Every structure is written in structure tokens, then in C-alpha cells.
Homo-oligomer: A and B are copies of this chain.
């Protein structure tokens, strides 16, 4: 935890941004909820528990900043809210998601499944890939069992 905060602090400093208490509180919330996919509002409410004086706008600005620095990724699952997802330790590609259309569960895939596909896109379309967003919609393991049973 502390070392990851330290690392983020350095990333901010390298672009001459500061890790203010509000920003640190926000980052801590993100670290403590790495598996969840929190909306700005979610983050705001959680940060508020520790730092009640923080404003919603600050959370938005912090998330935007972290997003620019590629520390978090902004994703969108189709409900009208942006969600913010911390990049995994050491990962330089954005992980993929499996969204269950039955129960809404979101599973993460950290393996990069797109290496070959990206090569193909670069060679066949001449498009220089920098990042990707891949989400599968379908039925999770759990819901498949339920369906079979009923």
C-alpha cells in the first residue's frame, strides 16, 4: 500500500503535480477497492468517510488527473456512469472485463488476450495501437448453473 502510494507520488511529481491530502485520500480509496469498479460518486462517498471536507469536484478533478497519468482507467459499462479502475501493479496494458448480463457481476481478466489481434490491426490497418478497451457481455459461470437448474 504505502509503496504504491509512494510510487504514485513520484509519478505526480514527475509532472510537477502534488500529492495533496485530498488526492492521497482518493488514491487510498481506490487502492482499498481495487476489485470494484467505482463511479466518481462512489469514490466521493468513500473518501468523505475519511476526509469529510472533500468536495465532489475535487474527486472528479483527481480522477481526471490520475486518468491522464494512466494511473487509473476510465471505463463505461453502458449505465450512464463513468467508472474508474486502478491499473494493476506493473501492468502496462489495461485489463479486460466480463460483464454478466444476468446478475451484473464484473469479472476481470488480467492476461493480455489482444497481443495477436493488435499485431494484426497494426499490420492490416496501419493503425498504431496505444491502448484498448475490451469488454465481453455474456453469462457468468454462476448464472449458467442457475439457468441449468431452473
Contacts and interface: CB of A to CB of B under 8 A. Distances in A.
A114 interface: yes
Closest 9 CB pairs of A and B: A126-B141, A130-B138, A129-B138, A131-B137, A128-B139, A133-B135, A76-B76, A113-B117, A98-B127
A21 interface: no
A107 B78 contact: no
Interface in A110-150: 113-114, 116-118, 120-121, 125-141, 144
Interface of A: 74, 76, 78, 98, 100-101, 107, 109, 113-114, 116-118, 120-121, 125-141, 144
Copies in the complex: 2
A98 B127 CA distance: 8
